Amino acid sequence: MDDKLRPYRTGVEKPARYVGGEYNLPDFNKPYSVRMCLCFVDLYEVGMSNMGIQILYGVLNEAEDVRCERCFAPWIDLGKILKEKNIPLSSLETGTPLRDFDIVGFSIPYEMSYTNVLYMLDLAGIPFRAKDRGEAYPLIVGGGPASANPEPFIDFFDLFFIGEGEDIDLELCKLVEKYKGDRDKILTEAAKIDGIYVPSKCEFSDGICKTTVKKAVVKDLDRAYFPTKPLVPNIEIIHDRSVVELYRGCYAGCRFCQACYFYRPVRYREKETVKQIAERLIKTTGCEEMGLSSLSTGDYEDVVPLISELKDLTERKNVSLQIPSLRLDSFTEGLLERTKKSSLTFAPEAGTQRLRDVINKNVTDEDIKSSMAIAFRAGYTTVKLYFMLGLPTETDEDVLGIAETVRLVKQTYIETTGRKNIFINVSTAMFIPKPATPFQWAEQISGEEMYRRQNLLKSELFKIKGVHYAWHGADISVLEGVFARGDRRLSDVIETAYLSGCKFDGWSECFRYDLWMEALAKHNVKIEEYTGARDTDEALPWDFIDFGVKKSYFLSEWKKALVAKTTPPCKHRCNGCGAQSLASCRFYKEKKS
């Protein structure tokens, strides 16, 4: 490999990010006819923590005739060197420039990573827009969680994976192998595959796609591929542990949560399969920690026996089992047995029962009190509480209710332990209406109002001893809101923002609100057009996607939200959301006529 970067490596921060060479690298001597580079639009440490990257990398490299390599966004220091020295952005494994691959696939985790797609294309010497790329360039493919609404940045892609990519990426590779050199034929055939959105092959009316694209889902998660020999990074990454995925989708039905609906139907990996994977991962990774991944691990049906059995396995090997994301109503003493007594995290999300009913967070003050009492009896002295501000129908009473909830937690600690030495970390995020949720029609409050509510809460929490408050920035939340429900007009804004210096927008030290405002103004885009309430009759930019969950279901949930009426979790009763149309749902029950 011609390592043009070698002389510059000692001059950049964490050069080990850019050298690859991890344990468990696949065999790159196998013959291949299609070569793909899987790109992640953030740093190595973030991308290697992403389970989707590990799954796709494993699936593709285990397939015949396909070689998959990786590339992560270089930090600003290296990006500058690449640009100055005219060294093209290349893959980690073989140092091959991105433009020499057949397919370059971008995994896009969220709205504020859009400029990094352009950053990576720029460093690779690949034109930004699909219309400007001919056969000489690789097929540029997008996917990942941002696929619930790809419209704001679709002009930069030849095609887009909607939903879960592990099956359809192989189908695309087969097409590329079959029709190599005939891009139009590849795109025509790709458009026929469920889960692949090819804008150049779709019909449009008033800028809105009218060709339905069905979201791709893995039909049988229990038998689906899972990487049991994942790459083990040589440096510490964000989630530095081996991970077993328990299930996809969520039955809770919180109305603000895109992941809950986007990953439906609920599909399980059975307990025995999870144990087999865990056992294998201990051997193949050597990681000192193991995590369980799902949208709400405490809701997994067999969670207590599973954790108990996994503990037997991990403790024998001196591996620490981490249990994240617990819902308050799924918290039991069984879950706490043999866990470390350090800190627990809960997300009541809202401070009053009325608002919790609006968002369908089926949690009561009594649930909070009883769960906390269990935790405190078990020896926990630190609690993290997550809330959202700016939720639909929220009033100042709801904002101050967060402080009341914190007081309730503190009081429960005092009553349970007789002591006062509790630490409560309170964190608030701003509500952002997301596509494919019942709140997709909701209004997002303005930046000024966000600051006002944050300050209101701050002044109240300040009065409670032992509380630390952290909040998510208002400016960045406004922009997330614009792009979450954006349309094709925003691609010009993204390009202008990038060219004026915006990249790594999710990193506070890089975020340039002023440049974004200039870019929006240059293209006459008003923030309120995107953050304002949407009419339920209005055609939405993402309406062409068949999410499984029906639009009529979202609408009925939206109407119930406005009158603070809850919907029970699917495990108590199938609510007929429609996700069953894509694959078998764990909780589906046919309605009796």
Partner 1 sequence: MITIAFRRFGNGIFVPHVDVLRNLNRTFRRAELDVSYSKGFVKHMKLNLTQPLPFGIADEDAYVAADVEPGDIASALTFFNESCPPFLQAKAIYRTDKNPNLAGLVTLSDYYLPAALSPEQIDRLNNLPSDYVVRQKKGDGIVERSTEGLIKSLRASSDGVSAKLAFGNVNLRVDVLAQQLNADFMTDFELTRIVRLSQSLVADGVEKTAENYLREIAAECVFLND
Q: Nearest to residue 260, comparing CAs of 279, 278, 247?
A: 247
Query: Residue 16 or residue 373: which is nearer to partner 1 going by CB?
Result: 16
- Taking CB under 8 A as the binding criterion, the range among 125-133, 277-285, 349-357, 360-368 that sits at the site for partner 1 is 277-285
284 binds partner 1 (CB under 8 A): yes
Least distance in Å: CB of 379 to partner 1? 12
Query: Residue 21 or residue 207: which is nearer to partner 1 going by CB?
Result: 21
Binding mask 22-61 toward partner 1 (x if CB under 8 A, else -) reads: xx-x------------------------------------
Cα–Cα dist 47/425, whole Å? 27
6 binds partner 1 (CB under 8 A): yes
Q: Which residues contact 339 (CB under 8 A, 6 or more apart)?
A: 321, 323, 378
* 41 half-sphere exposure, CB direction, 13 A CA radius: 30
Q: Which long-range contacts (CB under 8 A, 24 or more apart) does 410-416 make?
A: 410/464, 410/466, 410/467, 412/368, 412/369, 412/372, 412/373, 412/376, 413/372, 413/376, 413/381, 415/373, 416/372, 416/373, 416/376, 416/377
508 binds partner 1 (CB under 8 A): no
Q: What is the DSSP string of 74-139?
A: PPHHHHHHHHHHTPPPB-TTT--BGGGSSEEEEE--SGGGHHHHHHHHHHHT--SSGGG--TTSPE
Query: Residue 174 or residue 311: which is nearer to partner 1 going by CB?
Result: 311
Q: Contacting partner 1 (CB under 8 A), which of 33, 94, 188, 234?
A: 234
468 binds partner 1 (CB under 8 A): no
Query: Residue 283 or residue 573: which is nearer to partner 1 going by CB?
Result: 283
- Secondary structure (3-state) at 140: strand
Q: What is the largest CA-CA distance in the chain?
A: 74
Omega before 150 cis (within 30°)? no
Least distance in Å: CB of 3 to partner 1? 9
486 binds partner 1 (CB under 8 A): no
- Which tokens belong to 321? 């089992």
Q: How far is CA 478 from CA 53, 149, 184, in A?
A: 28, 17, 38
10 binds partner 1 (CB under 8 A): yes
Cα–Cα–Cα angle for 352, 354, 360, rounded to 5 degrees: 100
Q: Contacting partner 1 (CB under 8 A), which of 83, 185, 210, 283?
A: 283
- Taking CB under 8 A as the binding criterion, the range among 135-143, 168-176, 286-294, 426-434 that sits at the site for partner 1 is 286-294
236 binds partner 1 (CB under 8 A): yes
Total binding residues toward partner 1, as defined by CB under 8 A? 27
Least distance in Å: CB of 405 to partner 1? 30
Q: Contacting partner 1 (CB under 8 A), which of 4, 15, 378, 489?
A: 15
- Taking CB under 8 A as the binding criterion, the range among 17-25, 129-137, 191-199, 389-397 that sits at the site for partner 1 is 17-25
Cα–Cα dist 254/439, whole Å? 10
Measured between alpha carbons, how far apart are the two ends of the chain, in Å?
Answer: 66
Least distance in Å: CB of 467 to partner 1? 25
207 binds partner 1 (CB under 8 A): no
Query: Residue 286 or residue 501: which is nearer to partner 1 going by CB?
Result: 286
Query: Residue 316 or residue 463: which is nearer to partner 1 going by CB?
Result: 316
Q: Contacting partner 1 (CB under 8 A), which of 20, 144, 401, 569?
A: 20
In terms of Cβ atoms closer than 10 Å to its own Cβ (0-12, 13-18, 19+), residue 203 is exposed
Least distance in Å: CB of 307 to partner 1? 19
Query: Residue 235 or residue 456: which is nearer to partner 1 going by CB?
Result: 235
- Identify residues 316-335 at the interface with partner 1 (CB under 8 A): 317-319
Q: What is the DSSP string of 473-530?
A: -HHHHHHHHHHHT--TTHHHHHHHHHHTT---TTSTTT--HHHHHHHHHHTT--HHHH
Query: Residue 91 or residue 147: which is nearer to partner 1 going by CB?
Result: 91
Positions touching partner 1 (CB under 8 A) are: 6-7, 9-10, 15-16, 19-23, 25, 232, 234-236, 282-288, 317-319, 340
